[in-house]
Chains A and B, each alone.
Chain A
Amino acid sequence: MTRKLNLLLATGLTSLMLLSPAFAENMLRVSYPEDPKSADAQMTTDFYTLPLNIFDRLVESETTGPGQSALVPGLAERWDVSDDGLTYTFHLRKDVKFHNGAVLTADDVVYTFDRMLNPATKALNTDILTFIAGAEERLDGKADSVSGLKALDDQTVQITLTKPYAAFLALLAAPGASIYNRAFTEAAGDQFGLTPETTNGTGPFILRDYTLNDSEMLEANDDYWRGRPKLDRLLIRVVSDPDTLRMLFESDEIDVFDMDFAPTQTPYFYGADQWKDHIVSGPRVGIYYYNINQLKKPFDDPRVRKAFQMSIDRQTILDKNFYGKGKLEDGVMPRGLRCYAPAEPIAYDPVKAKELLTEAGYPDGVEINLQQVSSWSSRWSDMNQIIQAQVAEAGFKAKIITTDEAAYLAARKAGDSDAYTQVWSADFNDPDNFFYTFFSETGSKTRGYNNNDPEVFAAIEKARGMTDPAERCKLYQDLTARIVDTDAAWVPLFSLDHSFVVQPRVKHFIVPWNGWSDMSYYNVEVE
């Protein structure tokens, strides 16, 4: 009965707040294109707004400038790394309280990571923790605990890795590594994160109302260890229709208009006198690329690959398909990523490309296949049509092949896919997230590159364990030249900007370092 009454009150409260502008004064109203489905960060790989505002992590990735970030202490006030790079000791902050009043201890951290690796949880984010000793055994159900996770005392957690991994700290700053309270989470079971009553974190906001497919209401945590947030409330509304979203924004029912949710509105907002000065934009740490499969003739010849790189007019695609809001990329790392340095520019030169094709034995041009997936958005097929026309000038007779997603993934996994275009956004701020995914021995095969360069494979493995940051970055920059320039293993296209339009009353709104739609609203204020 009490629960029902609470629910009724909460719903009534939400309705009242939405209806009355007086209540809306210190509330930020944002939108999401679909229901985030859970606040539990272990159960999602892409809806992170709730976890980023309700929970904290041991280490946080703080946005320090457009596309720039730094790893800063979170729930751990400091940490030590052993000389061999295998043991991480985290010293937790004292007196950090969960929303239910429980005090954070080292046991909570051990519990959280063990829960993620426990097969009964069916977690989706386990990749973050597979470097921990004993993680694989736990995932496979061969162990009841994770040997590499230890609470030395109430305030100290020790994590041991199977091998040194330089990006481990960056991984711990990912939203998936949010820290939960043992007693509460165990009691909530599989309901954790699904309702306000079964959600509990240490973060700046407390989940107060969750109406599936409608909205989530968060309230400021008065006892937050970094100080109370400036906002009293944060309302996240689920709005799936882009035109409705724009009307909501223009009728002042939403404070932030995320152009990612309605890209076709980009020219309108950039052209509207009322709004163009209220656009906040930042780089997205993600790279659009064209895959080249070296097992598919004629791409076995580096000259053909080079010719393919040079025959695509990337600036035109960026201008025509993405309203020019982005920057050309020439390497493997997009701007904003740790270790990023501008790479040797790839020139658009169809004449030179034609010469290279002739040199490679294709004076009359050569047939190639470009693959796309029927269920993907039209963005990809539009790009393929432009590219098909562009590369024809150099002599590539490109045929566009459309398959379903299952066929594409199966072919890719077997290393047998045709060339395709896609985008990769950083999960965490480390070059390993890009190099390992595409050009390591496993990545190169399963993503359909087959760039079987043993030196590249060895260097990527080596970089994972390197402890000197400067030396490590240098290695990644050298690898970029080798992969893109010498091997011509892929075609980097561009990275995009992520633009938001905000109501004039919103202050301190910045695009997070990774350019995501998901962000912490801790520093945002409304007037």
Chain B
Amino acid sequence: MEMEVWPFLALSLGVTGLVRLLPWGTERQRIVASLLVLLAFMCWAPFVLDNFRLFQMTRIAVLGLALLGLNILTGYNGQVSLGHGAFVLMGAYTVAVLLDRKEQLNLIDASPWPFWATIIVAGILAAAAGLVIGVPSLRLSGPYLAIATLAVMISFPIIVRKYGAFTGGSQGLGFSRPPQPPFLEDLISREAWMYFLCLLVLVVMVLLGWNLLRGQFGRALQAVRDSEVAAAAMGIDVARVKVLAFVISAFYGGVAGALLGLISGIVNPDTVDIVQSINYLAGIVIGGLASIMGSIIGAAALVFIPSDAAKVVAKLPILSSDVVTRAPGAIQGAVVIVVMLLMPYGVAGVLHRLARLRLDQIAARWREAPALLSRSLQRASWTWDIRPWARHGPGTGHSPREGVVGRGQGNLPTQQPREDPTKGGQ
């Protein structure tokens, strides 16, 4: 059975959404059930998608992991980094050096490493690098931090090229991708094996991340993001939390890089370039800041927009297909702009609002839908204001500081926005 990727995704997400909204059981049960359904569909994917789409799905899993790492740092902790790609690249190189057939790195003994061990080593090395970068970064914030991390990202490939003895220079390192374990050999292809490997690692890391972020540490991360002074006053060790955010984020990046290396079989300085590293930031903003689900959605956007946006737009009668075929990037850029225009708080924010609805309540709410929509959008724009380096917007009179929160109009008999939609999808 073969399926196109869009019907497949529509089917799997549709069923997942239905399970999520069904009026049975507790909220928690519904969430767990829907995630299990989604996982089942994702396990079905290799058997219905063609190899190109399957490879795209594999990349989404890898990229989702990388974006989750960046989201922990930027979305949850408010430290904007443009250099996350450096950790990913580092993870990829770790795997390549350890698995390289030419055994260039004779420092370690030449017997081949098991591939799963290289993933762990890559994560740990990246985490160590995260520590090295995270500590000095304590002194920087906002765009200064962003540009400093970008400097790291710019320098890394150049350094790798210059010192080619270990890294293979511009050509990079090649190695054979790990074969499927014997008991799976007859069941699935090499591509499917790569996909399942990445999916497995993603699921494990998401569970770890979810466990970490929903608890005290997650609250500390966000408290530091919202106000370092207030967080310190509550007894949070701000410096420790910020460095830890860097370390954990780098760990995720390193593991993602390791997978990226494993699925490609070759690693060179262009495996992750500057533009991609900057795109990671675009990915989490499009997907949704401070949201695990948003990270994965962002990864899907980064993979599917370049491959499909132009094709979809070409079918619309509004543009001559000439533009679409010869300037696909223009369509991609326009799609990014339009998505941000329609969903300034990312896709996850919109989905989270949808998840709030219960099927049995939708009918009742339908009549007041327009008012509800405008009110909820307004409310979102009050509460959901992650602006790590914000003073406030240009005198619009719409920013919460000028408008409501700062004016302390707490005694008004209206509902104060309490729930933070950013925390959705965990």
Q: Do A and B come from one complex?
A: no
Residues of A within 8 A of B (CB): none
